[in-house]
């Protein structure tokens, strides 16, 4: 495995931030790839501390040293090369096919670069997590990125890619991502990367109308991955319930979930709940679609745990194949402990915009000297934006 066979082809610029650390181009992306793929999602990371460690590591492992170790059948060097391709460190651009080409040395005994016989179980499980990450990003690639991917597929000539055909359907890439993520989980590593794949499978199932909850319990394929993803969802929901218990809110008030909005409702009908698949007890309500959109970055981890990227649309031919991911098996089977400009959000559950007349809304206007320091304004005709503007204007006059 030499630099002619596996061309990195990039240049690395160095920036001295302080006397203890040199910052290399894309070093932060390199660290992010390592965190996503090589360790459990449960590990808490000190990014600044680990960034310094990465700086020292990359200084110690320039390209020539890395290739020397790879040529001497060092599995650590193989994983290192894969991370550099996935992160774009030391290369012209991120190259998922290049990463998979390197990882073939750990998976394929027929590969003339095979080092799997020297690899530990940790090497193998981390390689599966890295491969899942690479295939997932091939699946999520934009049309422009697919053109580059096809170019890379012709360049690296991997047996797996040749079997599928250059420019295979997104579903083919995703099936490979699911396979490697499932193997990683089965072998004991539930990384952030594997959870991304699991969340995407769940999202696909919901779109296709599959019984996702039954698949979690009795899925014929990818059952370890299904269960790890379900456990993580429940952990996220439990964390949010714990956070909400600490919030100082009156349970008798209907308050817009966007922090700082200030709109309350006289009755529950004054607000509209999120229309997503989040649990009912965690479902936020908003005074307007605008507030819901502003709050989406906060609510998305609850509504769509571990989700990332838009899901490509499947062809009519691929939809039946995708549904095979959700086939149910016997209890013992696998039983082991059109592109939009903006990301879509789960629309609030109302068919109409705010009506001219409707449930009363309440907003507090800060007023020095008033009882409680505020004047309460109620209206069943003003929309939320008008009420906030009115509050700000009156508040300014009262100051």
pTM recorded for the entire structure: 0.75
Pick the residue with more confidence: 384 or 46?
46
pLDDT interval class at 349 (50, 70, 90): very low
Using CA atoms of 270, 259, 195, 105 in order, give the dihedral in degrees to the nearest 10: 140
The residue-averaged pLDDT of 43-60 equals: 90
For the chain, give the mean pLDDT: 82
pLDDT of residue 100: 96
Q: Please give the average per-residue pLDDT across 300-323, as a whole number.
A: 79
pLDDT band, very low/low/confident/very high, at 1 (cuts 50, 70, 90): low
Helix H, strand E, coil C: the string for the chain is CCCCCCCCECCCCEEEEECCEEEECCHHHHHHHHHHHHCCCCCCCCHHHHHHHHHHHHHHCCHHHHHHHHHCCCHHHHHHHHHHHHHCCCECCCCHHHHHHHHHHHHCCCCCCCCHHHCCHHHHHHHHHHHHHHHHHHHCCCHHHHHHHHHHHHHHCCHHHHHHCCCCCHHHHHHHHHHHHHHHHHCCCCCHHHHHHHHHHHHHHHHHCCCHHHHHHHECCCHHHHHHHHHHHHHHHHHHHHHHHHCCCCCCCEECCCCCCCCEECCHHHCEEECCCCCHHHCCEECCHHHHHHHHHHHHHHHCCCCCCCCCCCCCCHHHHHHHHHCECCCCCCCCCCCCCCCCCCCECCCCCCCCCCCCEEEEEECCCCHHHEEEEEECCCCHHHHHHHHHHHHHHHC
Token pair listed for 88? 């774009």
pLDDT given for residue 383 in this prediction: 75
What's the pLDDT at 155? Answer: 92
State yes or no: pLDDT of 27 exceeds 60. Answer: yes
pLDDT at 247: 60
Q: What is the mean pLDDT of the segment spanning 143-166?
A: 92
Band of residue 379 on the pLDDT scale cut at 50, 70, 90: confident
**pLDDT at residue 24 in the model:** 85
pLDDT in tens, 240-291: 888 777 665 555 567 888 888 888 887 777 788 888 878 888 888 888 888 9
Residue 59 scores a pLDDT above 70: yes
pLDDT tier for residue 299 given thresholds of 50, 70 and 90: confident
């Amino acid at each position: 495995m030499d630099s002619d066979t596996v061309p990195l082809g990039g240049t690395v610029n160095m920036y001295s931030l302080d006397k203890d650390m040199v910052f290399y181009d894309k070093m932060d992306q390199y660290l992010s790839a390592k965190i996503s793929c090589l360790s459990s999602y449960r590990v808490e990371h000190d990014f600044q501390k680990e960034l310094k460690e990465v700086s020292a590591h990359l200084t110690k492992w320039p390209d020539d040293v890395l290739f020397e170790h790879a040529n001497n059948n060092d599995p650590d060097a193989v994983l290192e090369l894969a991370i550099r391709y996935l992160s774009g460190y030391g290369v012209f651009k991120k190259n998922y096919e290049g990463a998979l080409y390197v990882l073939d040395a750990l998976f394929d005994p027929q590969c003339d670069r095979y080092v799997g016989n020297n690899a530990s179980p940790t090497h193998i499980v981390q390689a599966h997590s890295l491969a899942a990450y690479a295939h997932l990003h091939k699946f999520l690639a934009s049309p422009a990125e697919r053109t580059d991917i096809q170019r890379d597929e012709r360049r690296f000539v991997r047996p797996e890619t040749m079997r599928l055909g250059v420019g295979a359907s997104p579903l083919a890439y995703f099936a490979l991502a699911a396979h490697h993520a499932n193997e990683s989980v089965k072998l004991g590593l539930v990384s952030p990367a594997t959870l991304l794949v699991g969340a995407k499978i769940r999202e696909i199932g919901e779109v296709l109308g599959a019984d996702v909850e039954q698949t979690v319990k009795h899925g014929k394929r990818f059952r370890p991955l299904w269960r790890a993803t379900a456990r993580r969802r429940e952990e996220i929901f439990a964390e949010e319930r714990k956070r909400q218990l600490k919030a100082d809110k009156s349970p008798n008030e209907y308050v817009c979930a966007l922090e700082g909005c200030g709109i309350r409702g006289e009755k529950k009908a004054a607000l509209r709940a999120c229309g997503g698949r989040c649990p009912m007890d965690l479902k936020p309500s908003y005074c307007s679609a605008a507030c819901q959109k502003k709050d989406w970055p906060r609510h998305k981890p609850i509504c769509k745990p571990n989700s990332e990227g838009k899901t490509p649309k499947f062809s009519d031919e691929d939809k039946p194949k995708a549904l095979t991911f959700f086939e149910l098996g016997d209890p013992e089977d696998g039983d082991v402990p059109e592109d939009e400009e903006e990301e879509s959000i789960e629309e609030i559950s109302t068919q109409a915009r705010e009506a001219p007349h409707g449930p009363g809304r309440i907003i507090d206007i800060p007023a020095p000297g008033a009882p409680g320091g505020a004047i309460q304004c109620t209206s069943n005709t003003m929309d939320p934006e008008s009420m906030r503007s009115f509050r700000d204007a009156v508040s300014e006059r009262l100051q």
